[in-house]
Homo-oligomer: A and B are copies of this chain.
């Protein structure tokens, strides 16, 4: 049997217990897109206009809702409308990183009520299992999914070595809610101690990978970039996350932005087709 990531997204969707993991894989298969766009702008108008343009080309929109200056609750309704119209999953990139009780309040409540609208969110494993338990107490009843940050793409990150291994072990202990990782590679063999590889043969964590660019090498603040093919084919990741590499600095260039999104989508999908090879029917 081919290892999980050499199966098709559709085949893998069938075996996911978490409804959000299933939804994401089905969306990828249906739209033939493993592209996620990270919408890092500070005005509601820009936020919505980028999503309107890239929506047809993405499986997922990643948000930082807390950088939007003129946030109103109606923005969430508009985001949800776009999610239905263009058929994408929503991922609020909150990077929760507090103790269980605090993250459960941050996730469910406050101004943003993230759990009520974001299919996926993420957390740093650094506080230990309580961060997952706190988020799970809110998200699991809603059918949500969590990604753990097992690695980061920034220079000098401390998410490496034993930290990464511990993160994967933590995920394995909470597989009903943790659907995968923000990472630069597959996490299959990571963190195994006494158990053999057989014990995790049925696990299929999704790998969403930031720091993807076609024409850039890095920015001033420590971000490092890899190509879609490096990420999907070489490293076996599942979703490429691209930000300003798609929408650039002039949001009026709608056709250019759409063309860039289409290009990343095509490159990501070609790398995936190469990876799954004859498994794809």
Contact = CB atoms under 8 A, between A and B. Distances in A.
B101 A219 contact: yes
Contact of A154 (B124, B127, B219, B221): B127
A152 interface: yes
A97 B99 contact: no
Contact of A67 (B97, B106, B154, B221): B106
A128 interface: yes
Contact of A221 (B42, B130, B156): B130
Contacts of A93: 98
Interface stretch (A22-30, A109-117, A250-258, A259-267): A109-117
Interface string A131-162: 10110000000000000010010111111011
A130 B93 CA distance: 17
A66 B126 contact: no
A75 to B, nearest CB: 11
A18 B265 CA distance: 48
A159 to B, nearest CB: 5
Contacts of A166: 158
A223 interface: yes
A78 to B, nearest CB: 17
A123 to B, nearest CB: 9
Interface residues of A, number: 51
Residue with the highest number of chain B CB atoms closer than 10 Å, among A126, A134, A166? A126
Interface string A156-183: 1111011100110010000000000000
Contacts of A276: none
B126 A155 contact: no
B40 A101 contact: yes
A131 B130 CA distance: 23
Contacts of A216: none
A64 B103 CA distance: 10
A124 B93 CA distance: 16
A249 B162 CA distance: 39
A128 B67 contact: no
Interface string A213-247: 00000010111000000000000000000000000
A97 B100 contact: no
B152 A101 contact: no
15 contacts: A40-B101, A40-B105, A42-B110, A66-B106, A67-B109, A68-B111, A99-B152, A111-B111, A124-B126, A126-B149, A126-B152, A128-B155, A129-B156, A133-B221, A163-B163
